[in-house]
Structure 1
Amino acid sequence: MLESIENQYQKIGYIARSHGVQGEVLIISELDAPTLFDSLDLVRIENARGDLVPARVESVRVQEKHNRLSFFVQFEHVTDRTQADRLKQYAVYADREQVEHLLDRQDDPVDMTSFEVRMNGSRIGTVEEVLYNPAHPILQISTRNLEQLLVPFVDEYVTEVDEEHRQIHCRNLEQLGDV
């Protein structure tokens, strides 16, 4: 007995537009998985009739812009811009088992409460709470002086999260207050 399309395939995004003259397309992902195409060499593109047509992935470049993942994908059978333009707005599907396996490998967010915060080898304090806002998380740190320090969880300040040793390594914290 054949499985339904919904059980067999999962929508992973849609083709937003063509890119360049070699037939590359921009796929906007519906999944938060930067490694999505690492294990996908074959996807299905839904055509105007609703059929899922196989498309072999030749190459992929990942871009994160405005907190959204997009993929520049070159399909084997698309060789020029005209062919790529015909795919605009079509949905892209992948084998459900491959996608679910990939998503299962992604860990749940780490609870960083009580992580030790360090800068230049010195202990700065301990994470008391992680505050979530639309732009990025903010670490509320209780410093050695028992003061509160709010640190945006961005590359400017956080250089590494060491889950094994429960430490967060930072830089530039002097910009945020007395450290």
Structure 2
Amino acid sequence: MLESIENQYRKIGYIARSHGVGGDVLMISEIYAPTLFDSLDLVWIENARGDLVPARIESVRVQEKNNRLSFFVKFEHVTDRTQADALKQFSVYARHDQVDHLLQQEDETMDMTSYEIWVDHTRVGSVEEVIPNPAHPILRIRMHDQQQLLVPLVEEYVTAVDEERQQIQCQNLEQLMNL
């Protein structure tokens, strides 16, 4: 008996549109894993009939914009814009064992509960919870004045994470506060 698609593969995103004339596509990831394609050289694209068709990856360029990861992917079998346009809105899958391993690594590195929050050279609070989010994790911080603050884990607000000292250096937090 064949194993179901859901047990073998995990949806990692979808193809939003073609990019350029050389056959590149913009893939929007549905999971937050910046290193997603570091170990993937083969994915499966769901066609119009619902079949999964293997697609070998030739190259990938990662871009984080508006707190979302985008992957510009070049597949070996897609050589021009017309072929890339034909893939628009198709879902992209990877084998569970490859993706789940990456997500497990991401989860292990993202446990920042009780890390201290610093702005400049002043301790201003601590992390109470790390909230998973498809675009990026969100830190729920308890400030010294007992105010709670939700801080996206992006460069706009988090400038450095010192795992050894369990400290997070932040900036621009005043933009997130209810005044």
TM tier, smaller: 0.7 to 0.9
Structure 1 residues 113, 81: CA separation in 2 closer, same or farther (over 3 Å shift)? same
Match of residue 25 from structure 2? 25
Asked if 2 retains the 8 angstrom alpha-carbon contact of 1:151 and 1:157, the reply is no
- Distance in 1, matches of 2:84 and 2:171, equals 44
Runs of 5+ unmatched residues, structure 2:
none
Runs of 5+ unmatched residues, structure 1:
none
Please report the TM-score for the alignment, with normalisation by the length of structure 2.
0.76
Deviations 1:78-110 (A, max 9, x none): 110011111111111111110111111112543
Asked if 1 retains the 8 angstrom alpha-carbon contact of 2:117 and 2:127, the reply is no
Alpha-carbon RMSD = 3.3
Please report the TM-score for the alignment, with normalisation by the length of structure 1.
0.76
Deviations 1:40-93 (A, max 9, x none): 100011112221111000111112233322211000111100111111111111
Stretch of structure 1 that moved more, 153-162 or 69-78: 153-162
- How many aligned positions are there? 169
Structure 1 residues 18, 174: CA separation in 2 closer, same or farther (over 3 Å shift)? closer
Stretch of structure 1 that moved more, 23-32 or 66-75: 66-75
Deviations 1:130-156 (A, max 9, x none): 5999996474443xxxx6798884535
Aligned identity (percent) is: 62
* Mapped pair 1:56 → 2:36: no
Listed as ranges, the matches of 1:9-158 within 5 Å are: 9-107=9-107, 109-113=110-114, 115=116, 117=118, 119=120, 122=121, 124-128=122-126, 137=139, 139-142=141-144, 153=151, 155-156=155-156, 158=158
Residue aligned with 1:107, SS: helix
Cα displacement (A) at 1:125:
2.5
Asked if 2 retains the 8 angstrom alpha-carbon contact of 1:43 and 1:56, the reply is yes
Instruction: Name the larger-Rg structure.
Output: 1
